Structure formats: structure tokens, C-alpha cells
Structure 1
Amino acid sequence: MKSVKTRKSPRRNRRVFGRLLLLIIAAIFLVFAGRFAYIAATGHIAGVDLTKRSQKKYKADSVIRAQRGTIYDSLGNVLAQDINAYSVYAVLSHDYVGPNKKPLYVTDKKKTAKVLSRYLPLSEEKIYKQLTPANRSVYQVEFGSAGQNLSLSIKRKIEKEHLTGIYFNESPTRLYPNGTFASHVIGIAQSPKDEDGADQSLVGVMGIEKYFNKQLAGQDGYKNFARDSYGYTINQKKNKVKAAKNGQDIYLTLDSRLQSYMETLLTSVNKKYKPKSMNAVLMNAKTGEILAASQRPTFNASTKKGIGKIWRDTLVEDGYEPGSVLKIATLAAAIDSGNYNPNQYYQSGSIRVGDKKISDWQTSGWGMIPLSQAFARSSNVGMVKLEQAMGPKVWKDYIQKFGFLKPTGIQLPGETEGTLQYVRPLDQATTSFGQGINVNVMQMLQMTSAIANDGTMIKPQILSGINQDHQVKPIKAGKPIKASTAKSVLQNMEDVVYQDYGTGQVYQIPDYKVAVKTGTAQITGPDGGYLTGASNYIFSVSGIAPADDPKYILYITMKQPQNMTDSAESILAQVFNPMMKRALEYTKKAEKDTQQQVTVPSVIGQSTDEAQKKLTDLGLQTASVGSGNLVVQQLPKANSVILPKQRVILMTNGAMTMPDVTGWSKNDLLKLAQLTGVEIDIKGSGYAYHQSLAVNGLLDGVKKIKVQLK
């Protein structure tokens, strides 16, 4: 019996196991059936709406990008432009096929190379080499800088060739053709990434690009369409299209000729004396138009080189103690309030206020001198005497009348309003010579404008207009002083330059009468006290010219020069004198010879000879990059408004070759860099006379070219 039971046990075990397996399979089936029933009923799985996912597969929203508005200077020169760039790429993988296994990859590489060489600055051989990589598993290839930043016109021409496997990526790109050029004022626009890593529309993150982002950006449109399982668009009446609304153009008051010269002067001084920072602004004294404005450190807006050094626009975002230039306001307030007796003598050198001693910059003083000399000598003691004669209430009223402690309202983001330390008699006394009060650069220009305009302050303006409406009208910011007061202060500013005891004799400009006030402001240290040492100051100069008929105000500051081999006045004069002289001579020339502007036509797609003749007939210079016979790109772009004799650079098809840049300006070289994607290292100032790459040398594979100016 025992042996019988043993023989039956395996059979019984198999039956039990079989039933158990059936139960498990049935349970799994029920789970899946329940899951499918749930999905079918709700249309959701793992929190994903399958209906929407399915619709997304067969329907798509295509964003129609709005073109960002262009930023121009006062003459119509392009400062920032949306170039609607496209980059071309080629799919090589044979896995990329359409319905019925239709090839969507490059099928005829020789033909593709030959056709693309007509539109790209690459030789046929170079393109073919890229289309036949050693690694055959490569899915797709691109064509470097030569295949980037293509215009819409070139993209369409390539598309008309119906090349299999050739596709395009669109990316919002901003062109800043002048490089280092009022970079913090104009600002930059960047493309944030969406959740899939794709570029979104450009957004202004600094300067004018940020302040007027809404106007510049416009409004994107969209195209809602259906597509089949292969991704092809299905024509349906339900497709919806909303056109994009392009951004508005912004015109600034900047004058490119004056701005370029200011950049050159600042770069030279910055390189030689190495200050921690510098600011310079040239303003039209009558209208408040900012004609040139820059700072150091700065950056190249085209290459973004140096952008990490400082993001702030120090012309409006930084508050600082202005030092002795504020004595313009002190003297004006004392004269206007009837508390100035020029013939009153006082003991210079030092004065005690409370338990503190205030000293002149020449600590021994000049003995007993009249108040009429206090301003020209930049005597702190003389200014304290004037503040005490006015009293704290009257002096503070004038501080506010001159527009301090509130923003000027210039159209730049982040303007600081400034601060005032004015509790103790010592505080009140030190403000008379520019300590204990924080200001910004635009407030100082606005204050000085009252002296140039018979007592009426003019608001600084950087915006000339939006779209076609760009005519600047002066905006009055108050009348803090009488006309007679302004004339008296202006005479005192002349004394600074032309009296033998004046601190600004170095600012004399032959053939022009100049009125100036110099400044040396102490800098607060980390412990709350003022720094010591010969260079630990903010040195400044504010000038008006011509003094007998004010047209310009030029204000320059320089903080802590690290290589102070010359006096502060001599250093600042290396910017002030040539800059002011250039502006004055420019005005004189403009009054005699009004230049006509030229609108650049489109020559893309035309033969090189035809394009050159067309541009030359308009009084423009031309230069060609490459040896081809067809123009594929141009800078400045079509419809740009420029001055006669400016250079238009034409990129031709075929191999990209180096032109002869002899006599080219810095701006021309920056345009060349933008077109070719090759970095150009520019040394010196003036015009090009030497290039490291020979004329007609191939640019393919070249990363940097050195060009010397003189």
C-alpha cells in the first residue's frame, strides 16, 4: 500500500500545480482586463490623458514667431536686430523613412554637395566630405558656422532645390553688429528654453532690450493643424491660423559716430590706467538727448565676451557720492537764495563742525581768500561756509529742487533714486561738497542742465521714438534756479578752466570756451570709514561747451585707477578733451553739410557683379567674402538706413575666402565676424592696415584672425 501511494503522489502534484497555474493566469487576465476597462472608461493612465496624448500625436500647434523689433540709433543705423536665423542640417541615417519606406535621408550626396555650395560659404568638396563621415552610423550632420545664421531668403532658395534629407532649424537670434557699443544701455535679448529644451522667443534681459521688451517682442501667432501617423500635415478646414504681430522698432538718441569714438577713448584709458570702473555720458544740453554713453567694465554684445564681469548698467543702477562736482548745486543754491557774497573773505584750509575737522584737498589751504575763489579752487571749507549761510532747510530744499533723491525717469531699467544722510550738522556740512549724498549719473547730468539752460533743468532722454515717430522734444524737469544764477555759476565753471588758481586748466580746448567742475570723492570702506591712498577715490569731471552757447554736457567718472601714473585730471582729460572737441566739430560740420541717408536694398540672390554695381550707384562701398558669383548673405541687412560711403559686406556662394580689409573700420570688421562666424581679434584704433590671414585665404576651419588698426 505504501508503494502505491508513492506512485500516485506525482500525478496529484501535477494536478494541483496545473490548477494553481490556471488560477494565477486567470487572476493576471482579470487584472489586465480591469486595467483596460479602466483605461477605456476614463481615458487616463498614470495621470496621462490618453485622449489628449492621441490628439497631440495627430494634431500640433505650430508657433508663428513674431519678429522682434529693431533698435536704431538717431541716424537710422542698426544697433540690434532680429535676424530670423536658420541653420541647415542633413539626415544621413537610412532609418529615417516616410510612408512606403520613402527615403527622407540624403540619397544623392554629390548632387546635394554641389547644390548646397551655391548657397553656403563652403566648397563642394568640403560639403561632400561632411556628408560622407568615416563613422557611417552618424544620424545627421551640420555644417558649422557656414550652415548657421542663414537668412529666410537663402532657406527658401535651398528648399526650392528639393534636396532629399536636407532640413532646417529655426532659432531666434539677435544681431548686435557693433560689438562693444553702449552694451549695457542697449542691453541684450536671450532665448529661454522650454521644457523640451527648444528655444523660445527672445526676451530682453538688460538695458533697452529689457525696458522696451513688450514693445520689441510683439505677439507670437500660431498654426493649429492635424497630421497623420507619419507626421505629415493633413489639410483640414478645422486648421486654425493666427498671424504673428511683429514687434515695434525702437529709435534711440545715440549717435553711432560719437558713440564709437567714446568707446575707443574709454578703451584706451581703461587699458592704460586700469580703473575699477568708469562712466562717460555725452548729452545734448538743450534737448536732454543722450548722444553717447558707456561704462567700464563692459562687454561685446555680439560675442558676449566680458558679459560676466558686470551685469549692472552703472549709469543708472549705481548710487555713489559725487564729490566736488556737486559744488555746482551748492554754489547755485547759495547764489539763488541770496546767501552768497563773492567778496567775503574766509580762512581756508580747515573748519571745525561739531567735534570734527573738515579740510580742503590742499590741507594747508590758501590763506585768507574771497568766496569768489572757493568754487574754482574746489575748497571744501568755502562750500561749508555757503551751506551754513543758507541753513540746512534751504540747502535741502535746493537738493530736492535739483532732482536728487528721486529717479530722473530715463527709459532704462533699475534707476536708483539715491539717498541722503542729513541728520547732524556734520552731515549737512559734508553734503555741500558731495559727501553723505548718493546720486546716479543721470541725476548729475540733469542737475548740470539747469546751468546750461538759464535755470531750467532738462530731463535726460535715451528714447528718440517708437516706429516712425522719433523726434525728441525737451522735457522740462523743473526750474530750480533763476537765469541770472545759472549765468553766474557758468562763469564760475569757466574760472575752473581759465583762472590760474582753477583746478581744471587741463580741460582747455583750443578754439572753444569750456566750463568745467572737477571732483574727487572719497570711497566708503568695509568698516564704514573712508578709504585712504592716492587712488582710492572716484575722480570726475562735468563740463559744458561752448560756455557762451551751451550745446553739450559731458560727464565722466573714474573709480580707483590701479595704474595711476598721471594725475586724475590728466587721465580724464584724455577722454574729455577729444570727446568734447569731436562733438563740437561734428556740430559745426553738420550745420554746413547735412548728409543724406541711404536705404540699403536687398541684393541676396543677385550676381556679385550686379549687387556691387547696385550698391555702388547708391554711394555705398562694398566688399565680398568668397569667390562665388551669387550673393547669399549681406550686412547691413536690407532696408537698413545708413550713411553714404559706408561698407556693405556681401557673402557669396562657394568657398569662404578672406577679403582685403585694409582701410576697414572696427564696425566693418565686426560685421565680417558676424557673417563668417570667425573671431576677429582687433588691436589698436583707427582703420585696418594688417591682417593675419592673407587676402583670398580660406576661412574654412579658421578660428581667429588678428587685425591691426592704426
Structure 2
Amino acid sequence: MNPQERTFRKRSKLLRFGLLVGMSSLVLRLFYVQAVEAKSLVVDAQKWIKTEKDIVGTRGAIYDRNGQKLAFTGVAYDLNVDLDAFRPSKGKSKVDVPEEYAKFLAPLLGATETELLGYMKNDDTSVHGVGLGPKGRKVDASVFEKIEAAHKDQKFLGITTSRVDIRRYPSGSTAAHVLGFYGISGDSDKEAGLAGVEAVYDKQLLGVPGHMEYFTDVDGYPLPNFEPQITKQPTDGKDVVLTIDGTIQHFVEDELDKIVQKYWPKHATIIVADPNNGEILALGNRPTFKPAEYASADQEALWNNWALRSFEPGSTFKTFVMTGALAENKLNLAETFQSGAITVDGMTVRDWNEKGFGTISYREAVYNSSNVGFVKIGQKLGKDSLFNYLYQFGFNKPTGIDLPGEENASLFDPKKMSDIDLASTSFGQGVSVTPIQQVAGMIAVSNGGKVYQPHVVKEFRDQKTGQTVEEVKPKVLREVANPEVFNTVRQVLEETVLYDANKIDYIRGYHVAGKTGTAQVPKPGGGYEDDKYRLSFTGFAPANNPKVLIYVSVDQPTRNAPLQFGSTVAAPSGKVVLEQTLRYLQVPIDPNDNTVKDKNSKPDDTAAKPVEPKTFVKVPDLIGATKDQANDLIKQSGLQIQAVGDGPKVTGQWPDIAYGQVPEGTEVKVYFGPEGIKDGKVKMPDLRGLSMREAMETMSLLQLQMEPNGSGYVTKQGTAPGTMVPFGTSVKLDFSPQS
């Protein structure tokens, strides 16, 4: 063997020995890791758990038709505490004390120190982070700012914050049953729209979720010093614009409060609609709730959308029976009959006053709401024809309004019903329909036969650009009878309003057409309660060219109503809201309406003057203009200017260019904001003396929200003039009538 071979063999042995030692060490290490260190490694691994979750973009806001923000997503923060801040470790010079944290946080969170210490005192070293319970979730930015200030001073560094979204409803309980609410449902950990528009249009408001990855400890708390990684950006949801008019909604809410205060009813509802397209301009119920506080709301208030509940309508239903009989040429309004009582199937049906009105015409049967007269009308029409028209008006199915929870009507089967069933149906008892079905039916009566589908959403807009991306078009569900029939029906309903000796629902100059209803409440086991009633009024104006339709229902008033009739309880509220709405919308009045003289008028008094037709002009773009430039542009456009703020240039205006055209002479509110503003704040103006609409427009201009109380003119504001407040701040305003 030569020296070269010996050297090769020697090196080969050394290599094999080295490999054997290495492999043995690896085997021994693996055995040690699996058998000896297994438990501690599992614990360490659990400290670093990679978590994946969907993230949502900014949920769309909900606006009224005039741009008032009714719901939006604001910023809030969840608080966690890093327990390692209280534990000694190598290299740490100071250990924090949980008692000091509790003392700092208690007044910020409205919690007790003992309550917070219950979360922070944890001897389990495997737990590294804890939350602070419900009071530590979704806290306001003011709390976050105080924590950040403490961090700058190197204090309470163990408090960590996570930015989260919070749904805000700046107008309190206004339009609560339209808006609905947003939160966590049942066992799910995801938030979603749970009622109202928030639920029906949850997908549009939500947008498209993104995706995020981050590290947490074994309890699911995010580990400090590790930034989340967003792997897919979310798409923001769309803004929703309602058909609701905030001012008309306030008229409704204010009147409902008065109804509750005066009568203490079990339920009450008021609906205001545009009879020419089915848009719901206002909808309110009592009892009600605040969407932002839905979790603590009374369940009856929470789910009490009385506008969608089914119950016996009473005499408001007679309008549809009359329409069918006229359309089939089965009714001569001049024909007379003997009122008082009629026997059907061995049962006696009486007029509401027990004695009747003598021999009267069928036209007078409408005026007097004669049950006997309508039993006879129903008999003339017959079962099949009557129900054919009720179906055409839509009483056999829900309207399909874009709100959840609409109940079905309950009607007799024409093939199985008895003669007494026909009789009771003819005057609105024995059947159940919803207020929104009656609204849809009266829409057809008022506009000449088109049954529009009621709806509360007008359009969808892009959050960033504000551009309309989808419009909700009016939908005609059916057409009933013919315009000539409805001309007669509207005329009779207007005469019915005028026939009332007290003129409870008459509004001078506006030709109101309407019908009241008084329905007994059924007993659970059959029959009717002797002293419980559901009182209603439905009407529209002007009768010959309707612009506004209203429905009012007051369910079982318990005080201040010794005479429980729709004409004495529901109609007065209907008149108040209807008149406010007509004047607010500047619907022209009839100067020749001297049907009923004002009891306080002088001999030479005439009816109020109508609104003169106006020329419309385009709204100029004033953003960035100086005061002189803005004044010149406004003057050239034939408009007027109201300046707010003391900055050098225009930073906001209302109406803006997106508003399009306005009547010549319209006042444009212009905000002169400070230059270079970076903190997202605006100076609070002095609103005292402004009307509700003026205050609303000014607040909208400044991107502020208002919480109105009362009606009329601003007498007090919750935030003092001159105060710098963040955009989106909600300010309480007290209103009272101007003397």
C-alpha cells in the first residue's frame, strides 16, 4: 500500500467517524427536544399564533334626501393591557404597578378600580395580554388621546390600543325603525346590520372585505410590536341616500311625542309619503329606541315597527270598498237608504252612533262613515268583485317595502266566506291589513290608480366621490280602475273633510281629502273589547293634485280620550303634520278656497296668497373664492349669501354645485374656514334664532350633526359659539316656537 492510499484511508475513517458523531448528536438532540423540552416548546409556540381574519372597509353612511347624515362609521378604540409590564424580567429597570393603571383608567372608562384590577391581576404567566371588558371596548377618541399623551411621558406603556369602527347615529332615535341598527348577532363574532335599512342593505353598505394576518398570544390578544400585514385591501361600502326628509321626519317625531304625552297609547305610527312615486318621506313609531343603544333597548320598542303590523283597519278601509263599487257601476252616490241598523245572517250591524242618521244618500254614508251604508255597498258589489279590487289595491300580499318584518294581511277567502263576513269586510272589520298597505292603496286613490311600491331608499353613492352609482326607480305594482273613478273618490273624500262640523282635518287653502277610522280591538278568544280602539286617519292634499299623503294610527289610548274616534284623536295629529309638510315643501295654496271662513277673519280678509312661480338658476361653485369673489358670483347668479366663519376663503357651501338648480333669490350658506386647517376641526357658529331648516343646513355645511329637541327656532345650543369642534360632532339644539 503506497503512502497515498494510506492517507486516503485515514481521511476516510476520520470522515466516517465525524459523520457518525454528527448523526448521533442530531439523534440525541431530537430525542431531547421531543422528550425533554416538548412541554416548554409547546408553551412558547402558543405565545406566537399567526391569526388570519377578514377586514372590512369603511361602512357606508346613511343620509336623508337632503344630505343630513343619519348614520355613519366613526373611529373608536379597543383597549388591552400587556401583563408583562407588571412582571420582572432580565434587563427591565422598572416594573409597572396594576393599581396605578387602574387609577388612571377608571375615570376614563367610567369603571371602578376594583373592576379593572379584576382583569389586570392575573398570575398565569402564559397569559400576556387582557382586555378590560365591555367598558374597554369601542372607547372614544378622547380616551385614546389621553393614553397617547401618557405614552409620550413614558407612562402606562403597557396599555395598548386597537383602532376599530363604531356605528354612530347622531340624531338619536330619529327614524329609528327606518335606520334599524348595526351590531353583533347571536353567537357570531361579526358585526352586521340587524334591522331596518342597516339589515336590508347590509351588503351594499358593507362593501367587499379584505384580508389581514397578525400574531396573537394564546388568548387571542395581538402581540405588541408586530404590525399586522394586510394581504388584500378591502373595498369601502356605498353610501345610502334615503327618501326620508329630515325636516318632515322631525315633524312626525315631534307629533308622536305629543300623542304619547297626551294619550299614553300602546302604539302609534305616522307615515308621510309622496303619492306620485311611492317615496316614504317620513316614518315614525312609538314606542321607539336609540339605534346606538339597541342592546339595552326595550324589546317591544326595538321590534315595534307598527307601520308594518297587521290589524283591523276600521273605516279607513271604506275608501277601497267605495272605489270598487264605483268602478263596477254598482253604486249611485245619490241613491238613498235607511241608516241605523241592518240584519245579516241573523246578526245585527249598527251604525257607530247606534241610532243611525235617518234616510241618507250613499254620499252622506261616506260623510257619516255609516257601517250600514257600506254593508249595502258591499252587497251591491258582491264577494268576488269586492275581493278583486282589494287584491288590485294589494291587500292580498305585502307591499315589498325595503324594510324587514312586514306582516301579511289577513282576508277572508271569497269562496268560503259568509254574508256576515262580506258585511264586516265592507266596513273594515274582520280583516287585518298593515298601515303601509293602506298607504300604498291610498297612493293609488290620490294619483288616479297607480299602486306604487313604497320604498325608503332613493339612491346609492360612492363614498369617496359622492357620485350616484345606482338610483332606485319608482315601481308601479298595479293599476286600479280608471282616473274618472278616482276623481269622484277624491271629491267625496274632500267633501267628507268639509262635512265635519268641527273641521278637525280641514286646512284652509289646501283642499284636504281624507277618511278617519275607529276599529275595535279583537279579544284573543274571539269577539271585541268594549273599551279598546285603534284610531286612524289617512288623507292627502291638495285633493285635485296631491303632493303629500299621510297616515296616522293611535292604538288604544289610555287617557284624555273619553270619546275614542279617529276624528278626535288621530285626525288632529294628521292635520298638524300635513300642514307643516305642505308649507315646508312650498306647495302652492288655492287663493279662492273660501269654503270655510277663518273664525278670526275680518270681513275684507281673503285666503292666504299662493306661492308665486319662481325662476330657477344654477348654483355657482364658490369653493376657494375670497369673500369679494363669492359675493360677486352670488350676485351674478341672482342669489343671496349668508356667510358663516371668519376665514379668508370659502371652504364649504350649501347648497353646493351637486344640488343643481335652485329658485332665484335662494340664500346660499357659505362657510369661510381658516386656512391650512389640519386637525379636522371647525368653529361652532351661533345658531340661536335660526329655524330648524336653517340650522340643519348650516350644520350640514360645517359637516356637523345636530340633536334637535322641540320645534320652531333655536333657543339654546349645547356647544358654545366659537368653540372648535371636530368634524362630525353632534350638537344638541333646543327649539321653541317664536312668539
TM-score (norm 1): 0.71
**Amino acid across the alignment from 2:182:** A
Q: Which residue of 1 aligns with 2:206?
A: 217
Matched, 1:511 2:509: yes
Shift of 1:95: 2.2
Aligned CA-pair RMSD: 5.3
Q: 1:183 aligns with which of 176, 181, 188?
A: 176
Q: Deviations over 1:592-635 (max 9, x none)?
A: 5899699999xxxxxxxxx95459945679xxxxxxxxxxxxxx
Shift of 1:82: 1.1
**Amino acid across the alignment from 1:57:** W
Report the more deviating stretch, 548-557 or 564-573: 564-573
Matched, 1:79 2:61: no
CA distance in 1, matches of 2:303, 2:215: 47
Matched pairs, number: 597
Residues 311 and 647 from structure 1, CA distance in 2 versus in 1: closer, same or farther, beyond 3 angstroms?
Answer: farther
State, as a whole percentage, how many aligned pairs show the same letter: 28
Q: Which residue of 2 aligns with 1:326?
A: 317
Q: Deviations over 1:99-137 (max 9, x none)?
A: 853879699x9xxx9xx9xxxxx9xxx99xx99x999x9
**Amino acid across the alignment from 1:66:** G
Q: 1:174 aligns with which of 155, 167, 178?
A: 167
Matched, 1:269 2:259: yes
Shift of 1:180: 1.8
CA distance in 1, matches of 2:217, 2:560: 72
Residues 264 and 614 from structure 1, CA distance in 2 versus in 1: closer, same or farther, beyond 3 angstroms?
Answer: farther
Shift of 1:61: 2.7
Matched, 1:523 2:521: yes
CA distance in 2, matches of 1:462, 1:594: 29
Q: Is the 8 A contact 2:311 2:434 kept in 1?
A: yes
CA distance in 2, matches of 1:579, 1:412: 23
Shift of 1:544: 1.2
CA distance in 2, matches of 1:433, 1:228: 69
Q: Deviations over 1:657-676 (max 9, x none)?
A: x999855889989x99xxxx
SS at match of 2:372: helix
Q: 1:443 aligns with which of 420, 424, 437?
A: 437
Residues 203 and 138 from structure 1, CA distance in 2 versus in 1: closer, same or farther, beyond 3 angstroms?
Answer: closer
Residues 242 and 689 from structure 1, CA distance in 2 versus in 1: closer, same or farther, beyond 3 angstroms?
Answer: same
CA distance in 2, matches of 1:694, 1:466: 35
SS at match of 1:66: coil
Q: Which residue of 2 aligns with 1:393?
A: 384
CA distance in 1, matches of 2:434, 2:722: 50
Report the more deviating stretch, 97-106 or 259-268: 97-106
Report the more deviating stretch, 220-229 or 273-282: 220-229
Report the more deviating stretch, 94-103 or 271-280: 94-103
SS at match of 1:181: coil
Q: Deviations over 1:464-496 (max 9, x none)?
A: 122224645321121121111111110110111
SS at match of 2:266: strand
SS at match of 1:275: coil
CA distance in 1, matches of 2:90, 2:153: 18
Shift of 1:520: 0.6
Q: Which residue of 2 aligns with 1:357?
A: 348
Q: Deviations over 1:114-168 (max 9, x none)?
A: xx9xxxxx9xxx99xx99x999x977999x9999322999799979969661531
Q: Which residue of 2 aligns with 1:496?
A: 496
SS at match of 1:241: strand
Q: Deviations over 1:387-419 (max 9, x none)?
A: 111111111111111101201111011211211
Residues 394 and 509 from structure 1, CA distance in 2 versus in 1: closer, same or farther, beyond 3 angstroms?
Answer: same
CA distance in 1, matches of 2:481, 2:524: 38
Q: Is the 8 A contact 2:622 2:650 kept in 1?
A: no
SS at match of 2:479: coil
CA distance in 2, matches of 1:188, 1:648: 36
Matched, 1:546 2:567: no
Residues 138 and 687 from structure 1, CA distance in 2 versus in 1: closer, same or farther, beyond 3 angstroms?
Answer: farther
Q: Is the 8 A contact 1:81 1:176 kept in 2?
A: yes
TM-score (norm 2): 0.68
- Runs (5+) with no aligned partner, structure 2: 1-29, 122-129, 462-467, 588-610, 625-643, 661-666, 700-706, 724-730
Q: 1:208 aligns with which of 197, 201, 210?
A: 197
Q: Which residue of 2 aligns with 1:608?
A: none
1:255-404 to structure 2, matched below 5 A, reads 255-304=245-294, 306-404=297-395
- Runs (5+) with no aligned partner, structure 1: 1-35, 117-121, 602-610, 622-638, 673-679, 698-704
SS at match of 2:496: helix
SS at match of 1:420: coil
SS at match of 1:172: strand
Q: Which residue of 1 aligns with 2:583?
A: 585
Residues 587 and 302 from structure 1, CA distance in 2 versus in 1: closer, same or farther, beyond 3 angstroms?
Answer: same
Residues 522 and 694 from structure 1, CA distance in 2 versus in 1: closer, same or farther, beyond 3 angstroms?
Answer: same
Residues 398 and 248 from structure 1, CA distance in 2 versus in 1: closer, same or farther, beyond 3 angstroms?
Answer: same
Shift of 1:250: 1.4
**Amino acid across the alignment from 1:259:** Q
CA distance in 1, matches of 2:312, 2:712: 36
1:613-624 to structure 2, matched below 5 A, reads 613=646, 617-618=650-651
Q: 2:569 aligns with which of 571, 574, 585?
A: 571
CA distance in 1, matches of 2:502, 2:412: 29
Q: Which residue of 2 aligns with 1:254?
A: 244
Q: Which residue of 1 aligns with 2:478?
A: 478
SS at match of 1:438: coil
Q: Is the 8 A contact 2:650 2:671 kept in 1?
A: no
Q: Is the 8 A contact 2:648 2:673 kept in 1?
A: no
Shift of 1:286: 0.3
CA distance in 1, matches of 2:580, 2:293: 29
Residues 44 and 691 from structure 1, CA distance in 2 versus in 1: closer, same or farther, beyond 3 angstroms?
Answer: same
Residues 413 and 52 from structure 1, CA distance in 2 versus in 1: closer, same or farther, beyond 3 angstroms?
Answer: farther
Q: Which residue of 1 aligns with 2:424?
A: 430
SS at match of 1:523: strand
Q: Is the 8 A contact 1:85 1:151 kept in 2?
A: no
Q: Is the 8 A contact 2:51 2:213 kept in 1?
A: yes
Q: Is the 8 A contact 1:90 1:106 kept in 2?
A: no
SS at match of 2:71: strand
SS at match of 2:251: helix
Looking at both structures, which has the greater relative contact order when contacts are Cα pairs under 8 Å and sequence separation is at least 6? 1
